[in-house]
Amino acid sequence: MSYEPIIGLEVHVQLATASKMFASAACGSGAPPNTLTDPVVLALPGALPVLNKAALDAVIRTGLLLGCRINPVCRWDRKNYFYPDSPKNYQISQYDQPVCLGGEVEIELPGPTPAVMGEHRRIPLTRIHLEEDVGKLTHGAGDSLIDFNRAGTPLMEIVTEPALRSPDEAFAFLTALRTLLVCAGISDCDMEKGQMRCDANISIRPVGETKLGTKVELKNLNSISYVRAGIAKEIARQLAVVAAGGALTQETRLYDGESGRSAAMRSKEMAHDYRYFPDPDLLPVHIDEAWQADLRASLPERPFDRQRRFIADLSLAYSACAVLIRDRALADFFEETVHAGTAPQAAANWTTNDLLRELTAASLPLRESKVTPAHIAGLAALVKQGVVSSSQARDVFSEMFASGETAAVVVERKGLRQSTDTTQLAAWCDAALAAHAGSVAQIRAGNPKAINSIKGAVMKLSAGKANPRLVDEILRQRLGI
Amino acid sequence: MDTALIHQPLSALTGLLAERRVSSVEMMAAFIARTKAVEPRLHAFNSFDEPAALAAARASDERRTLGRILGPLDGIPIGIKDAIAVAGAPLTCSSKMLANFVSPYDATVIERLRAGGAIPWGRLNLDEFAMGSSTENSANGVTLNPWDLTRVAGGSSGGSAAAVAASQAPAALGSDTGGSIRQPAAFCGLVGVKPTYGTVSRYGLAAFASSLDQIGPLTRNVDDAALLLGVIAGHDPRDSTSLARPAPDFPVEMVARRGPWKLGVPAEYFREGLDPAVAAAVRKAIDFYSAQGGEIREVSLPVAAEYAIAAYYIIATAECSSNLARYDGIRYGHRTQNATDAIDLYARSRAEGFGDEVKRRILLGTYVLSSGYYDAYYLRAQKLRTLIRQDYLRALDGLDALVTPTTPTPAFRPGEKTADPLSMYLADIFTVGVNLAGLPAVSLPCGFTAAGLPVGLQLIGRHFEEPRLFAVARSYEQAHAWHKMRPTVASSE
């Protein structure tokens, strides 16, 4: 019998807000332990939560980007459980009236080669709600330390329908979601920093069966690669159990990315009655049309919409699109370069190859680049006019990047302007022909490729300034080929 | 020491300070001396900070010399229930759990008192975490009634009531979740106000039941209550349940409203279980209003009378079970010495830190929120709450206020009700419905029993109608002298 895997994801995303979800203490990482706190974060007697509107705005924006229904009234509930990283011993969350319902995430599966776009699918969502993050425990020998800096950071939970069918789809889902959320400034989605966390619900069922099988929740998937690998391992484990005639049990398993293995959590650790009830310290929030309209105006173009537009309107190669849409600022830079008069593919090459290479080498963010779209447009024009060669243009780009001068200034300063003086060119050509009699003989004997070594000699004589197209013309004329 | 000084209401003290007939330091010293003198018999205070109080009084005197007083209460001490956070002062909630806790911040009401120059004075005793009706649940022991030292001062704000009645403070702040200001005010012969829910910020009040808790004043007369409420009321962005409207000028609004009054008398509240002396005093008060040309109408509160106690003890305990989860021995508060792991640390710290009544309510609240019981208890109680609110609003239709006894009996003796928690819960029967409905209510003195115990009259109004309630109360007060009586502890110096 053949089986198919059914996968649902629960993704937690820390929102990039300045302050915490219900407190005025700052959000952030890297600060000394327990410094990003206040009476509310530490749950001192008498402290009360007040909603951070920026956090709710971020979730509504996410919902609008993903085509969710925005609940006209969302509500706050207390999820009660004791754990030392939870200052109140309850988490403020949303139980039955979350901010967003439904919606979908568009994903792109890998193509046959990196240059070919893969299939797109839409993964339906169940809901998106807002809750608060907990602190961090560090267990040492004999004692445990708690840092509440992370406690109270706004955390958005995105829950998919059991609609994913492969580890690759899960990988593509998280990649697409991360690209979208980073693009919209909603989260930095750095999984290593815990800004994006994912749990997977995995089951298998015979192909053709419509009922869902016994579900296993896989936790501790700390990177997008671990998500893919962990899910693949879990599917294999479940198939092996069934193949051996065993039965699957509903359980929560912790994945260890290092060893690639998972182990079941003790059932005691998951037997929770959270005693949800509406938080009496907070009022329900009415989200009206005007509020949504304001936020809608702040939404960026969705990355895949942008990709479709680049391909359709600019005839851009998929491989360049794929790089550009991953980074909103880079794609904006690219578009400005096109608007400044550069051919789209040339603009894409300059931004995705040369600009990215220089930025990486200099460890600079794009916003600190001295090269602007106008710089690139100027350089591309010089190449097109034949003022500099393609290979010289690379050097000009590096000079522009270092100094912030325009291409024209660099070309003049470095004396890189190509020589189109035919008298001078003819003199260089004649000298080269005279010095390479052997090559001339080879050409005459029927080997036209030998012309290249003569061209090389001309370029050498001209210190690289000779216009290659004119040199080619003169040599062929002299050689009569 | 000017013995007359300490017995004066706020309004008189304000005048004495303004006319420079007494300094704030002299006044503070008088209250400190009085506190020290009667405290061994009463135990109204968990603690007080004499140097801080005198320093604040000196600062007030300096402001006054410069002609820069901050408000009418500048230089006057106000007693503070030990469940309200005062920066740098202990905040024990009369619990072993917080025996060594010092608040690093001021509650909003304390900020407002300070902004008006008033001096937060003392940490006044209460039932542990405000759960109880007699202060017998205090980890620090019971507060006795200044009118009869063999009886309780009431609760949970028993320390606040006793301190004002015994002239250890001219006025005090308490908190009222099901009657915790009004009941001790009635037992101690004071005016006590439970404001409309949302009128006073809860920020800095250690939460018992968030949807019911309100801070309010306990004072010698109605004018003082209006004055003090005006200082502490108003929108606070740190409390999401605080009303988004400015507080009215209570003293001015109060005098703008005049009788005769249309009053409702709930029939259900004058039946079995009501002490005859209490019934007689309240009836007499109703007769007074009638004689003043008022219209007295019998009304009915069928749902509230039957179900308020049950709904209250489900909602209040549900909220308390969650609100008190933060007291776990991890970040602050009592921590056991003998924990084996995190769960054991919680269990032992909480078992050692909380008293029996707090544990009982946490257990009840945890139960009513549990999976499988939520719909049967919590959800039904919330539906009842809506019906109870409608009950009151229907009864109040076309009326200025409802008139009821504040309590079914006068102050009882320690131990009288502790063996049977239900009998203690029933002592709140006339007050809890008001909290469920979010309504304002005032208790004011309306006589004494033959044994010399004060009796309280409760006036209940529509939402936001504190000024009308004050006006109704004041018209009674101005024709009677009950509020001017002083308890025995005062005359036994």
Which residue among A43, A144, A281 places its CB closest to the CB of B210?
A281
Contact yes or no for B435/B224 (Cβ under 8 A): no
CA A356, distance to chain mean position in Å, is: 15
Alpha carbons A149 and A171: distance in angstroms, whole number: 30
Per residue in A204-232, pLDDT tens? 999 999 999 999 999 989 899 999 999 99
Alpha carbons A368 and A399: distance in angstroms, whole number: 16
B316 in reach of chain A (CB within 8 A) = no
Alpha carbons A32 and A47: distance in angstroms, whole number: 23
Asked if the Cβ–Cβ distance from B369 to A275 is below 8 Å, we say: yes
Here the tokens at position A186 are: 């909603």
Contact yes or no for B305/B266 (Cβ under 8 A): yes
A143 or A175, which is more confident?
A175
Instruction: Specify whether B180 is catalytic.
Output: yes
* Extended strands (E) in A76-153: 77-80, 90-93, 100-101, 104-108, 120-132, 136-139, 144-147
CA distance A22 to chain B (A): 10
Domain B3-299+391-491: which topology? Amidase signature (AS) enzymes (3.90.1300)
Here the tokens at position A56 are: 């709710």
**Rounded to 5°, angle at Cα A128 from A127 and A134:** 130
B137-173 burial by CB neighbour count: b if 16+ within 10 A, else e? bbbbebbbbbbbeebbbbbbbbbbbbbbbbbbbbbbb
Burial class (CB in 10 A: 0-12, 13-18, 19+), A232: middle
Has residue B490 got a pLDDT over 60?
Answer: no
Kindly state the percentage of chain A with pLDDT values over 70: 99
Q: Which of A265-269, B271-275, B459-463 has the weakest average pLDDT?
A: A265-269
Query: What pLDDT score was predicted for residue A271?
Result: 60
Query: What pLDDT score was predicted for residue A270?
Result: 53
Has residue B38 got a pLDDT over 90?
Answer: yes
Q: Which of A351-355, A427-431, B231-235 has the weakest average pLDDT?
A: A427-431
Has residue A423 got a pLDDT over 50?
Answer: yes
Q: Which of A199-213, A371-385, A436-450 has the weakest average pLDDT?
A: A436-450
B457: region left, alpha or beta (phi > 0 left; psi from -120 to 50 alpha): beta
* Extended strands (E) in B267-406: 295-299, 401-405
CA A218, distance to chain mean position in Å, is: 24
With contacts defined as CB-CB under 8 Å, which chain B residues touch A88? 325-326
CA distance A90 to chain B (A): 7
Instruction: Single out the catalytic residue among B23, B24, B60, B81.
Output: B81
R_g of chain A computed on alpha carbons = 30
- Prediction ipTM score: 0.96
B166 in reach of chain A (CB within 8 A) = no
Contact yes or no for B451/B466 (Cβ under 8 A): no
Mean pLDDT, residues A309-324:
96
Mean pLDDT, residues B226-247:
97
With contacts defined as CB-CB under 8 Å, which chain B residues touch A275? 321-322, 366, 369-371, 374
Query: What pLDDT score was predicted for residue B425?
Result: 81
Alpha carbons B288 and A26: distance in angstroms, whole number: 59
Helices (H) and strands (E) in chain B, counts: 18, 13
Which residue's entry shows tokens 């004999």? A142
Best mutation target, B212, B240, B321, to test chain A (most A CBs within 10 A): B240
CA A14, distance to chain mean position in Å, is: 16
With contacts defined as CB-CB under 8 Å, which chain B residues touch A47? 203-204
Alpha carbons A131 and A151: distance in angstroms, whole number: 11
Query: What pLDDT score was predicted for residue B409?
Result: 95
Confidence of residue B1 (pLDDT cuts 50, 70, 90): very low
Interface of A to B at Cβ within 8 Å reads 39, 42-51, 78, 80, 82-84, 87-90, 144, 146, 148, 273, 275, 277, 280-283
Mean pLDDT, residues B300-317:
96
Element (H, E) at A183: helix A167-183
Burial class (CB in 10 A: 0-12, 13-18, 19+), A465: buried
A78: nearest CA partner in chain B? B322
Contact yes or no for B334/B99 (Cβ under 8 A): yes
Alpha carbons A375 and A351: distance in angstroms, whole number: 11
Instruction: Single out the catalytic residue among B156, B175, B242, B475.
Output: B156
Tell whether omega for the bond before B156 is within 30 degrees of 0, i.e. cis.
Answer: yes
Tell whether omega for the bond before B195 is within 30 degrees of 0, i.e. cis.
Answer: no
Per residue in A159-172, pLDDT tens? 999 999 999 999 99
Contact yes or no for B285/B405 (Cβ under 8 A): no
Query: What pLDDT score was predicted for residue A448?
Result: 83
Per residue in B115-165, pLDDT tens? 999 999 999 999 999 999 999 999 999 999 999 999 999 999 999 999 999
Alpha carbons A222 and B375: distance in angstroms, whole number: 38
Which residue in B140, B150, B147 sits closest to B162, CA to CA?
A: B147
Alpha carbons B140 and B163: distance in angstroms, whole number: 16
* Extended strands (E) in A173-306: 196-206, 216-221, 251-256, 261-264, 277-278, 285-286
Domain ranges of chain B: 3-299+391-491
Here the tokens at position A317 are: 């190669």
Per residue in B52-62, pLDDT tens? 999 999 999 99
Mean pLDDT of the residues in chain A: 93
With contacts defined as CB-CB under 8 Å, which chain A residues touch B123? none
Confidence of residue B492 (pLDDT cuts 50, 70, 90): very low
Phi/psi at A93 (5° precision): -145, -165
First to last CA, chain B: 13
Which residue among A84, A273, A280 places its CB closest to the CB of B319?
A280
Which residue in B145, B125, B137, B142 sits closest to B82, CA to CA?
A: B125
Has residue A268 got a pLDDT over 60?
Answer: no
Burial class (CB in 10 A: 0-12, 13-18, 19+), B296: middle
With contacts defined as CB-CB under 8 Å, which chain A residues touch B94? none
B204 in reach of chain A (CB within 8 A) = yes
Query: What pLDDT score was predicted for residue B493?
Result: 46
B110 in reach of chain A (CB within 8 A) = no
Asked if the Cβ–Cβ distance from A47 to B203 is below 8 Å, we say: yes
Confidence of residue A29 (pLDDT cuts 50, 70, 90): confident
Mean pLDDT of the residues in chain B: 96
Domains in chain A (CATH in brackets) are: 3-294 (no CATH), 303-414 (no CATH), 422-479 (1.10.10.410)
B284: region left, alpha or beta (phi > 0 left; psi from -120 to 50 alpha): alpha
Alpha carbons B326 and B349: distance in angstroms, whole number: 12
